[in-house]
Amino acid sequence: MLKKLPRVLIVGDGLSAHVLAHRMHAAGIPFFLQGMDTLGAASPAAWGLLNPVHFRSFGLSYGASWYEESLAFYKALEQKLSQKFVDYAPLEHLDARPEALVHWSMAWESELYSFMEKPTKDSLGNVRIVLSQVAMVSVPTLLQESRNYLRKQGLYHQAWFDWPYPDFNHREPIAHAGNQFDAVVWAQGIRSLESGPFKALPIKPSKGEGIQLSTSAQVGDKVIKHKGMFAFQDSPGFWRVGSTYSWHDMRPEPSMEAMEELKARFIELTGINDFALVDHWAGFRPASPDRKAMVGQHPLFDQHYALNGMGSKGLLMAPYLAKALQEEMMGDLGKIPKLCSLDRFTKRLINFRE
């Protein structure tokens, strides 16, 4: 716990780092953000769905109760940055699993009736559920505007930040770039495996790819289509399709295999066969073995904190967990949910040797 208002260095250049920066800005905590977007980062590749529903398990996902707070955060950030990056649309999910009708009907009756229409079956035998209003955040736009805003305030510097392990055990203010910091928050995504004091965290990179397609086919409705992947017409004739999942492909660049998979899924979801590829991207979700985030103070190096492990739900998780971390750093203990706490990795962090 820090006894006075800490001066905080935030390391990272993705969603987690920028969300934390704006949380700290709003709370009046002095901070400086240093980060560099690198090949393979998750945030620029994010499809952008802010979604409290977990399709695979027929119900609400972990952290669903944070949905309203997260959405309010992004709406307020739009105002602050004078830039729109949140869009809304209904979402149609098709589910071919034999047990889908029973499970989605139960979910609709018990917890999802305010979010979704009653499940039905389509002509091909898929169970069809429609979520009435889902938010999408353009993460690349958010990041670009946030960088511009923070840079103008002298609070952001685009550069890599490194520190030789294990030289983290200081009790003095940390001097960097002419400033003194009391604490460092490492929001590194998968790059924490390579540098910084949190190398021992078991981040599991999960590669995801997406494409943008153009087509002259006329489709009027503004609906997010989902069956394993999402397809959405961002503007007339331009579709965004994503995202793949791979735990094996560690190449940072987009792959041919994923492109073929994405195109096939687009055809299945929309029935459109005539299109051209406009863009193709890839990134690594910073996932964890138990699919929960990794947030909190290092057990040995107490000036160092992690905000990581957002996996595939960074948009839902980051606003809540960044605030919880900030409150914890200010001495308001117990705000970080136990399931997301670094306590579960104490042994690994303490025993880690280069």
Ligand X SMILES: Cc1cc2nc3c(=O)[nH]c(=O)nc-3n(C[C@H](O)[C@H](O)[C@H](O)COP(=O)(O)OP(=O)(O)OC[C@H]3O[C@@H](n4cnc5c(N)ncnc54)[C@H](O)[C@@H]3O)c2cc1C
Least distance between ligand X and beta carbon 159 (Å): 7
Q: How far is the CB of 116 from ligand X (least distance, A)?
A: 18
Minimum CB separation from ligand X for residue 143, in Å?
9
Our CB check for ligand X shows the closer of 27 and 39 to be: 39
- Shortest separation between residue 234's beta carbon and ligand X, angstroms: 14
What letter represents residue 51's amino acid?
Answer: N
What are the φ/ψ torsions at residue 143 (nearest 5 degrees)? -65, -45
Of 65 and 216, the one with the shorter C-beta distance to ligand X is: 65
Contact residues: ligand X, CB under 6 A: 11-17, 35-38, 41-43, 45-49, 160-162, 187-189, 191, 195-196, 208-210, 242-243, 283, 285-286, 308, 310-316
Q: In angstroms, rounded to a whole number, what is the distance separating the alpha carbons of residues 258 and 3?
A: 50
User: Closer CB to ligand X, residue 128 or residue 240?
Assistant: 240
Nearer residue to ligand X within complex by CB, 9 or 116: 9
> Which residue, 101 or 304, is less far from ligand X as judged by CB?
304
* CA gap 347, 304 in Å, rounded: 16
Q: What is the DSSP string of 164-199?
A: -TTTT---SPEEETTEEESEEEE--GGGGGTSSTTT
Q: What DSSP string describes 223-258?
A: -EEEESEEEEEEETTEEEEE---BSS---SS--HHH
CB of residue 32 to ligand X, shortest distance in Å: 12
Residue 234: HSE in the Cβ half-sphere, 13 Å Cα cutoff: 18
